[in-house]
Amino acid sequence: MTFQQTATLFALLCATLFGCLLLYPNLIYLIFALDPHPLGDFLARRAAMLFAGIAVISYFARTATPSPTRTAICLGIATAMFGLAATGLFEFLRGYVGLGIWLAILTEITFGILFLRHR
């Protein structure tokens, strides 16, 4: 997969997460088997804004040629993806979230690897 394809697919994923978390924050409870809570809604909407920004960065960086800037973007995204995968695994192992977390973990590991390949 080329960098352009990886960045475009990642931008699409982040844009989708932005829309879902902003408009339907309860989705997070359903996927991860969590009890609904107003604080979770608040945090989901805040996370939506981060996903919007990451989607924009990834989309507009998709045509970047190999450079220190592209390396920084790839390493930053890979770090975030592996960190999210690790915390998701930790929360699963301690019994805080359900099996739905594995969808996130596998997606995060996949994008982490893909972005590392393009550093």
pLDDT tens, residue by residue, 96-112: 999 999 999 999 999 99
Q: In this structure, are residues 51 and 98 in contact, taking their beta carbons and an 8 Å threshold? A: no
pLDDT of 69 reads 97
Q: Is 54 left (phi over 0), alpha (psi -120 to 50) or beta?
A: alpha
pLDDT of 52 reads 98
pLDDT of 50 reads 97
Domain tally, the chain: 1
The whole domain housing 85 covers 3-117
pLDDT of 97 reads 95
pLDDT tens, residue by residue, 64-85: 999 999 999 999 999 999 999 9
pLDDT tens, residue by residue, 33-48: 999 999 999 999 999 9
**Both tokens assigned to 30:** 């359903």
